[in-house]
Structure 1
Protein backbone atom coordinates (compact mmCIF):
# COMPACT_ATOMS: atom_id res chain seq x y z
CA UNK A 1 0.00 0.00 0.00
CA UNK A 2 1.50 3.39 -1.00
CA UNK A 3 2.42 5.70 1.83
CA UNK A 4 0.55 9.01 1.98
CA UNK A 5 2.62 12.14 1.33
CA UNK A 6 3.04 14.50 4.26
CA UNK A 7 2.64 18.23 3.83
CA UNK A 8 5.74 20.41 4.01
CA UNK A 9 6.20 22.26 7.30
CA UNK A 10 6.71 25.96 7.95
CA UNK A 11 3.87 27.60 6.04
CA UNK A 12 5.00 26.41 2.63
CA UNK A 13 2.35 26.14 -0.04
CA UNK A 14 1.36 22.52 -0.51
CA UNK A 15 -0.70 22.92 -3.65
CA UNK A 16 -0.21 19.34 -4.83
CA UNK A 17 -0.86 17.67 -1.48
CA UNK A 18 -4.15 15.80 -1.30
CA UNK A 19 -6.63 18.43 -2.46
CA UNK A 20 -8.30 19.75 -5.55
CA UNK A 21 -7.65 23.38 -4.63
CA UNK A 22 -4.32 25.08 -3.92
CA UNK A 23 -3.53 25.05 -0.19
CA UNK A 24 -1.47 27.39 1.96
CA UNK A 25 -0.50 25.92 5.34
CA UNK A 26 0.27 28.61 7.93
CA UNK A 27 0.96 26.33 10.91
CA UNK A 28 3.85 27.54 13.06
CA UNK A 29 3.89 31.16 11.85
CA UNK A 30 3.31 34.29 13.90
CA UNK A 31 0.20 36.32 13.22
CA UNK A 32 2.11 38.98 11.27
CA UNK A 33 4.01 36.41 9.20
CA UNK A 34 0.82 34.50 8.43
CA UNK A 35 -1.05 37.67 7.42
CA UNK A 36 1.75 38.86 5.10
CA UNK A 37 2.30 35.46 3.52
CA UNK A 38 -1.44 34.83 3.04
CA UNK A 39 -1.98 38.25 1.44
CA UNK A 40 0.87 37.73 -1.03
CA UNK A 41 -0.19 34.16 -1.76
CA UNK A 42 -3.84 35.08 -2.37
CA UNK A 43 -2.82 37.87 -4.78
CA UNK A 44 -0.51 35.49 -6.64
CA UNK A 45 -3.27 32.87 -6.96
CA UNK A 46 -5.71 35.50 -8.22
CA UNK A 47 -3.15 36.65 -10.80
CA UNK A 48 -2.96 33.03 -12.01
CA UNK A 49 -6.77 33.04 -12.39
CA UNK A 50 -7.32 30.52 -9.57
CA UNK A 51 -10.87 30.80 -8.24
CA UNK A 52 -10.89 28.64 -5.06
CA UNK A 53 -8.12 28.12 -2.52
CA UNK A 54 -7.77 26.72 1.00
CA UNK A 55 -5.84 28.53 3.73
CA UNK A 56 -4.94 26.28 6.67
CA UNK A 57 -4.49 28.06 9.98
CA UNK A 58 -5.14 25.30 12.47
CA UNK A 59 -7.77 25.70 15.17
CA UNK A 60 -5.37 27.23 17.67
CA UNK A 61 -5.57 24.33 20.11
CA UNK A 62 -1.80 24.45 20.73
CA UNK A 63 -1.66 28.22 21.19
CA UNK A 64 -0.88 29.57 24.64
CA UNK A 65 -3.88 31.90 24.49
CA UNK A 66 -6.30 32.87 21.78
CA UNK A 67 -5.76 31.39 18.27
CA UNK A 68 -3.68 34.23 16.80
CA UNK A 69 -3.09 32.96 13.24
CA UNK A 70 -6.73 32.00 12.74
CA UNK A 71 -7.93 35.41 13.95
CA UNK A 72 -5.40 37.29 11.81
CA UNK A 73 -6.44 35.40 8.66
CA UNK A 74 -10.11 35.88 9.46
CA UNK A 75 -9.55 39.65 9.75
CA UNK A 76 -7.48 39.68 6.55
CA UNK A 77 -10.20 37.87 4.60
CA UNK A 78 -12.83 40.28 5.93
CA UNK A 79 -10.68 43.25 4.79
CA UNK A 80 -10.10 41.73 1.33
CA UNK A 81 -13.76 40.86 0.75
CA UNK A 82 -15.05 42.70 -2.30
CA UNK A 83 -11.63 43.45 -3.76
CA UNK A 84 -9.57 40.25 -3.81
CA UNK A 85 -11.95 37.84 -2.08
CA UNK A 86 -15.54 37.30 -3.17
CA UNK A 87 -16.44 35.05 -0.21
CA UNK A 88 -14.91 32.73 2.35
CA UNK A 89 -16.03 30.18 4.92
CA UNK A 90 -14.51 28.22 7.79
CA UNK A 91 -13.82 24.59 6.90
CA UNK A 92 -12.39 21.51 8.59
CA UNK A 93 -13.94 22.19 12.02
CA UNK A 94 -12.48 25.71 11.96
CA UNK A 95 -8.90 24.75 11.10
CA UNK A 96 -8.95 26.20 7.59
CA UNK A 97 -10.76 28.63 5.33
CA UNK A 98 -12.13 27.94 1.88
CA UNK A 99 -11.68 31.17 -0.06
CA UNK A 100 -13.35 32.14 -3.34
CA UNK A 101 -11.21 34.70 -5.17
CA UNK A 102 -12.56 37.36 -7.46
CA UNK A 103 -11.53 37.34 -11.08
CA UNK A 104 -8.53 39.59 -11.70
CA UNK A 105 -9.33 42.96 -13.20
CA UNK A 106 -8.94 42.97 -16.93
CA UNK A 107 -6.21 45.15 -18.22
CA UNK A 108 -6.94 46.51 -21.63
CA UNK A 109 -4.06 47.67 -23.73
CA UNK A 110 -4.76 51.13 -25.05
CA UNK A 111 -5.79 51.11 -28.67
CA UNK A 112 -3.44 52.85 -31.02
CA UNK A 113 -5.03 55.93 -32.55
CA UNK A 114 -6.79 55.24 -35.82
CA UNK A 115 -4.81 56.45 -38.80
CA UNK A 116 -6.12 59.69 -40.23
CA UNK A 117 -7.07 59.34 -43.90
CA UNK A 118 -4.78 61.41 -46.17
CA UNK A 119 -7.68 63.43 -47.60
CA UNK A 120 -8.79 64.40 -44.11
CA UNK A 121 -5.25 65.17 -42.96
CA UNK A 122 -4.43 67.30 -46.02
CA UNK A 123 -7.77 69.10 -46.34
CA UNK A 124 -7.83 72.87 -45.96
CA UNK A 125 -9.14 73.94 -42.55
CA UNK A 126 -12.06 75.84 -44.12
CA UNK A 127 -13.13 72.75 -46.13
CA UNK A 128 -12.89 70.53 -43.07
CA UNK A 129 -14.97 73.03 -41.08
CA UNK A 130 -17.67 73.06 -43.81
CA UNK A 131 -17.77 69.25 -43.74
CA UNK A 132 -18.08 69.20 -39.92
CA UNK A 133 -20.87 71.80 -40.03
CA UNK A 134 -22.75 69.91 -42.77
CA UNK A 135 -22.68 66.72 -40.69
CA UNK A 136 -23.74 68.64 -37.56
CA UNK A 137 -26.67 70.22 -39.46
CA UNK A 138 -27.84 66.71 -40.30
CA UNK A 139 -27.49 65.67 -36.64
CA UNK A 140 -24.72 63.19 -37.42
CA UNK A 141 -21.76 62.74 -35.09
CA UNK A 142 -18.64 63.14 -37.16
CA UNK A 143 -16.14 60.33 -37.44
CA UNK A 144 -13.00 60.38 -39.56
CA UNK A 145 -14.68 58.19 -42.21
CA UNK A 146 -17.81 60.40 -42.39
CA UNK A 147 -15.72 63.58 -42.50
CA UNK A 148 -13.66 62.14 -45.34
CA UNK A 149 -16.82 61.20 -47.25
CA UNK A 150 -18.31 64.68 -46.73
CA UNK A 151 -15.08 66.36 -47.85
CA UNK A 152 -15.13 64.20 -51.01
CA UNK A 153 -18.76 65.19 -51.61
CA UNK A 154 -17.92 68.89 -51.17
CA UNK A 155 -14.92 68.62 -53.51
CA UNK A 156 -17.03 66.83 -56.16
CA UNK A 157 -19.69 69.53 -55.80
CA UNK A 158 -17.42 72.45 -56.23
Structure 2
Protein backbone atom coordinates (compact mmCIF):
# COMPACT_ATOMS: atom_id res chain seq x y z
CA UNK A 1 0.00 0.00 0.00
CA UNK A 2 1.41 3.37 -0.97
CA UNK A 3 1.72 6.36 1.31
CA UNK A 4 -0.67 8.29 -0.90
CA UNK A 5 -3.37 5.63 -0.53
CA UNK A 6 -3.02 5.73 3.24
CA UNK A 7 -3.37 9.53 3.33
CA UNK A 8 -6.50 9.75 1.23
CA UNK A 9 -9.31 11.50 3.06
CA UNK A 10 -12.29 9.46 4.06
CA UNK A 11 -15.28 9.97 1.79
CA UNK A 12 -17.48 11.20 4.64
CA UNK A 13 -14.88 13.71 5.89
CA UNK A 14 -14.30 14.99 2.37
CA UNK A 15 -18.04 15.29 1.79
CA UNK A 16 -18.55 17.24 5.04
CA UNK A 17 -15.73 19.70 4.31
CA UNK A 18 -16.92 20.09 0.72
CA UNK A 19 -20.50 20.59 1.89
CA UNK A 20 -19.39 23.30 4.34
CA UNK A 21 -17.55 25.15 1.55
CA UNK A 22 -20.51 24.80 -0.83
CA UNK A 23 -22.93 26.03 1.84
CA UNK A 24 -20.65 29.00 2.53
CA UNK A 25 -20.59 30.03 -1.12
CA UNK A 26 -24.32 29.36 -1.35
CA UNK A 27 -25.00 31.65 1.60
CA UNK A 28 -22.82 34.41 0.12
CA UNK A 29 -24.66 34.11 -3.21
CA UNK A 30 -28.07 34.18 -1.49
CA UNK A 31 -27.05 37.18 0.62
CA UNK A 32 -25.85 39.07 -2.45
CA UNK A 33 -28.98 38.22 -4.48
CA UNK A 34 -31.31 39.13 -1.62
CA UNK A 35 -29.66 42.53 -1.19
CA UNK A 36 -29.88 43.19 -4.93
CA UNK A 37 -33.53 42.09 -4.92
CA UNK A 38 -34.35 44.32 -1.92
CA UNK A 39 -32.90 47.33 -3.72
CA UNK A 40 -34.88 46.48 -6.84
CA UNK A 41 -38.21 45.80 -5.11
CA UNK A 42 -38.39 48.28 -2.26
CA UNK A 43 -35.40 50.54 -2.82
CA UNK A 44 -35.70 54.22 -1.97
CA UNK A 45 -33.48 56.97 -3.33
CA UNK A 46 -31.55 59.56 -1.35
CA UNK A 47 -28.86 62.14 -1.93
CA UNK A 48 -25.60 61.00 -0.37
CA UNK A 49 -22.16 62.46 0.25
CA UNK A 50 -19.04 60.36 -0.33
CA UNK A 51 -16.99 60.38 2.88
CA UNK A 52 -14.36 57.73 2.18
CA UNK A 53 -12.98 55.96 -0.88
CA UNK A 54 -11.02 52.71 -0.85
CA UNK A 55 -11.86 49.55 -2.76
CA UNK A 56 -15.44 50.61 -2.12
CA UNK A 57 -16.79 54.07 -1.41
CA UNK A 58 -18.49 54.93 1.88
CA UNK A 59 -21.39 57.38 1.78
CA UNK A 60 -23.52 59.20 4.32
CA UNK A 61 -27.16 60.00 3.68
CA UNK A 62 -30.45 60.64 5.44
CA UNK A 63 -33.29 58.15 5.01
CA UNK A 64 -36.89 59.16 4.28
CA UNK A 65 -37.71 58.72 7.99
CA UNK A 66 -34.82 61.01 9.01
CA UNK A 67 -32.14 58.54 10.13
CA UNK A 68 -28.54 59.48 9.35
CA UNK A 69 -26.83 56.44 7.78
CA UNK A 70 -23.27 55.55 6.77
CA UNK A 71 -23.00 52.68 4.27
CA UNK A 72 -20.79 51.16 1.60
CA UNK A 73 -21.69 51.45 -2.06
CA UNK A 74 -22.38 47.99 -3.44
CA UNK A 75 -19.63 46.47 -5.50
CA UNK A 76 -20.37 47.03 -9.10
CA UNK A 77 -18.84 47.60 -12.44
CA UNK A 78 -18.54 51.36 -12.29
CA UNK A 79 -16.18 52.69 -14.93
CA UNK A 80 -13.23 54.75 -13.75
CA UNK A 81 -14.84 57.99 -14.90
CA UNK A 82 -17.88 57.30 -12.70
CA UNK A 83 -16.08 56.29 -9.51
CA UNK A 84 -16.95 58.76 -6.79
CA UNK A 85 -14.38 60.87 -4.98
CA UNK A 86 -14.50 62.10 -1.39
CA UNK A 87 -16.89 65.02 -1.17
CA UNK A 88 -18.96 64.06 -4.23
CA UNK A 89 -22.72 64.32 -3.93
CA UNK A 90 -24.38 61.30 -5.55
CA UNK A 91 -27.82 59.73 -5.65
CA UNK A 92 -28.08 56.27 -4.09
CA UNK A 93 -30.71 53.55 -3.76
CA UNK A 94 -31.04 51.95 -0.32
CA UNK A 95 -33.27 49.38 1.35
CA UNK A 96 -35.51 51.23 3.86
CA UNK A 97 -35.59 48.08 6.05
CA UNK A 98 -31.79 47.92 6.22
CA UNK A 99 -30.38 51.27 5.07
CA UNK A 100 -26.93 50.49 6.50
CA UNK A 101 -26.58 47.51 4.14
CA UNK A 102 -25.00 48.03 0.74
CA UNK A 103 -26.46 50.87 -1.25
CA UNK A 104 -26.20 51.35 -5.00
CA UNK A 105 -25.04 54.40 -6.89
CA UNK A 106 -27.91 55.25 -9.27
CA UNK A 107 -25.45 56.29 -11.99
CA UNK A 108 -24.30 52.69 -12.28
CA UNK A 109 -26.49 49.88 -13.61
CA UNK A 110 -27.06 46.94 -11.24
CA UNK A 111 -24.21 44.43 -11.51
CA UNK A 112 -24.85 40.83 -10.52
CA UNK A 113 -21.39 39.47 -11.39
CA UNK A 114 -20.44 38.68 -7.79
CA UNK A 115 -23.76 36.94 -7.08
CA UNK A 116 -23.45 34.95 -10.32
CA UNK A 117 -19.86 33.99 -9.51
CA UNK A 118 -20.82 32.80 -6.01
CA UNK A 119 -23.78 30.83 -7.37
CA UNK A 120 -21.65 29.20 -10.07
CA UNK A 121 -18.94 28.37 -7.52
CA UNK A 122 -21.48 26.76 -5.19
CA UNK A 123 -23.01 24.71 -8.03
CA UNK A 124 -19.65 23.58 -9.42
CA UNK A 125 -18.47 22.78 -5.89
CA UNK A 126 -21.58 20.73 -5.16
CA UNK A 127 -21.08 18.77 -8.37
CA UNK A 128 -17.38 18.25 -7.69
CA UNK A 129 -18.03 17.02 -4.15
CA UNK A 130 -20.69 14.60 -5.38
CA UNK A 131 -18.44 13.23 -8.15
CA UNK A 132 -15.44 12.89 -5.81
CA UNK A 133 -17.43 11.13 -3.09
CA UNK A 134 -19.05 8.71 -5.57
CA UNK A 135 -15.65 7.98 -7.13
CA UNK A 136 -14.10 7.36 -3.71
CA UNK A 137 -16.94 5.08 -2.65
CA UNK A 138 -16.70 3.12 -5.91
CA UNK A 139 -12.95 2.80 -5.46
CA UNK A 140 -13.43 1.41 -1.99
CA UNK A 141 -16.12 -1.04 -3.07
CA UNK A 142 -14.13 -2.31 -6.06
CA UNK A 143 -10.89 -2.68 -4.06
CA UNK A 144 -9.99 -6.35 -3.60
CA UNK A 145 -10.02 -7.63 -0.04
Which structure is higher in RCO with an 8 Å CA cutoff and minimum separation 6?
A: 2
Higher strand share: 2
TM-score, normalised via structure 1 length? 0.24
Larger radius of gyration: 1
